[in-house]
A and B are shown apart, each in its own frame.
Chain A
Amino acid sequence: MAKWLLMMTGIYVAAVLDSVVAPALEIGGASPDFLVLAVVVGSLCVHESYALTAAGLAGAMLDLCAPGRIGFGVAVCVISSVALAAVRGLVGRRPLIQSLATWIAIAVMLSVLTAVRSVLGNTSLPPASYLTASLACGLYSAVIGLPCYSILSRVDRLRAAAY
């Protein structure tokens, strides 16, 4: 129960940060995406069942906070979560590698989401523009994710030492 509560709170906080803090952290037109970052961090560090549910909820929140049709965010997030969970073993618990994976994952997720919205007519950005923006946003989010991975890795080590 506590884990579910923690997960819900995490998604809520990420959504709030996305809408209030992310615009304030904008650098050169790029700002971090906390909800997508939560999906990626959850998928790489949390148990799969929780990660998938969290990804679905975060995707729903992403859809509800963004203009245009809903549903595609959920699909992109859950598929990404499954994919990330599949490569989790390869990435391991090395924060730098995890951050690199986060950059790629967020860039791909945002590119796909924007492409879908572009197809649906919700945005008129040219592909080059949204691909660049997705890469920049992914990099920024990965940089923010690096301390999260370091902390989680330290917690894991402490837990392992305790057992």
Chain B
Amino acid sequence: MTTFSRAWSGRPKRQLRLLACWLALALTLAFLPEQLERRLKDHARLLLAPGQSVARAALASWRRSWRAWNYRSDSAAELAQLREQVRRLDEQNLALRLVASGSDFDRSAEVEQPPALIETRAIEARVLGEQPRTLLERLAIVTAKESTELSVGSLALEGGSVLIDQGDNASLTASQLALLGGRVWGKVVEVGPQTAVVRRLNAAGYRSLVRIVHEVDGLPRPLAQGVLEGTGAADCRIRMVDATAPISTGDLVVSAEEPDTHTSMLVYGRIARAELEPGAAHWQIWMTPAVDDRSPATLTVLQPAVNGERLAQREPE
């Protein structure tokens, strides 16, 4: 209180007069008629309206910017998440390739790997029906190699085999795999100058080395190797699979070719039935082929070939 009175003791009278004026005005305003008071408030509202509309527009603009900034930061987070997902998928792909090739070399080794010397070519071939086959036989085009002792009229396709319109001309050789829609359909068994015979995988006499794999978290885990045999029935038999292998129905059957060729991990089908007799050394396994029973219109024959890029690299030396 002392401070207050000391502070005010030196105030000019003008200030006190001003204070008195304001207090008098406040008192007057407090006793204004209600109608006049309402009119004053209306005027004040009108006076503030332009400023308020500007402030509202500025506030709305700021809110929009804020929302846009938030959206951008959300998008950035989402992008980072997607990038991380892509990175994980790349790693999984790499792991799958390593499993597929069956090798356990590290990633850096794979990155620095030079181009393969042997690469796999895919040759598209049309499946020839009865009429084209007859025509070709008449024109003496369907002839087998001399060693096979096949000649015009001697071509008798067994059930489950087809004739394709590529042969020696495309450097096809026996035992090359023929695919349908990326899955193993059969194997080339006879090759002529312009044609070849492909045996379906469930046809009697078909034999191939296969690998049985079990999928764990989307990654294939090799279980065992066996010999796939066509029986002439819908399902194929797989023999020589060791009894100690943990085989179960639904496991995948893939090709078991050399690890460095691109024909490894080609799908044959899935195990339909697996039986193990007491004391038996091998499983009794039946596999349902991945391809259906319909006769195909075209087949893709996989053929190993020397990599031209590698040969080109050697030439300057």
Contact = CB atoms under 8 A, between A and B. Distances in A.
Task: Give chain B's interface secondary structure class.
Answer: helix
A49 B226 CA distance: 104
B19 A24 contact: no
A82 B19 contact: yes
A70 B4 contact: no
A78 B23 contact: yes
Contact of B51 (A13, A63, A87): A13
Contacts of A16: 48, 51-52, 54-55
B55 A17 contact: yes
B138 interface: no
Interface stretch (A54-62, A106-114, A130-138): A54-62
A19 interface: yes
Contact of B15 (A17, A52, A61, A87): A52
A53 B17 CA distance: 12
Contacts, number: 93
Interface string B3-34: 11001100100110011001101111111100
Interface in A22-62: 24, 48-49, 52-53, 55-56, 59-61
A69 B37 contact: yes
B22 A52 contact: yes
A142 interface: no
B67 interface: no
A24 B14 CA distance: 41
A63 B32 CA distance: 13
B109 interface: no
Contact of A49 (B15, B29, B56): B15
B61 to A, nearest CB: 13
B280 interface: no
B41 interface: yes
A89 B8 CA distance: 12
A151 interface: no
A75 B26 contact: yes
Interface string A73-109: 1110011001101111110000000000000000000
A124 to B, nearest CB: 20
B44 A20 contact: no
A24 B7 CA distance: 39
A125 interface: no
A74 B19 contact: no
A74 to B, nearest CB: 4
Contacts of B4: 83, 86-87
Nearest to B51: A16
B23 A75 contact: yes
B40 A70 contact: yes
A48 B11 CA distance: 10
A53 B48 contact: no
A140 to B, nearest CB: 18
Contact of A60 (B15, B23, B29): B29
A65 interface: yes
A71 B30 contact: yes
Nearest to B8: A86
Nearest to A73: B26
A83 B11 CA distance: 12
A81 B180 CA distance: 93
Contacts of A155: none
A21 interface: yes
B29 A20 contact: no
B11 to A, nearest CB: 8
A13 B54 CA distance: 11
B59 interface: yes
Contact of A15 (B28, B41, B48, B59): B48
16 contacts: A12-B47, A17-B55, A24-B59, A49-B15, A59-B22, A59-B26, A63-B29, A71-B26, A71-B28, A74-B29, A78-B22, A78-B23, A85-B7, A86-B4, A86-B8, A87-B4
Given A70-B32, A71-B31, 20 more contacts: A16-B48, A16-B51, A16-B55, A21-B59, A49-B15, A49-B18, A52-B15, A53-B18, A70-B30, A70-B37, A70-B40, A71-B27, A72-B26, A78-B26, A79-B23, A83-B4, A86-B4, A86-B7, A86-B8, A87-B4
Interface of A: 12-13, 15-17, 19-21, 24, 48-49, 52-53, 55-56, 59-61, 63-65, 69-75, 78-79, 82-83, 85-90
Give 3 nearest A-B pairs by CB, closest first. A71-B30, A71-B29, A64-B44
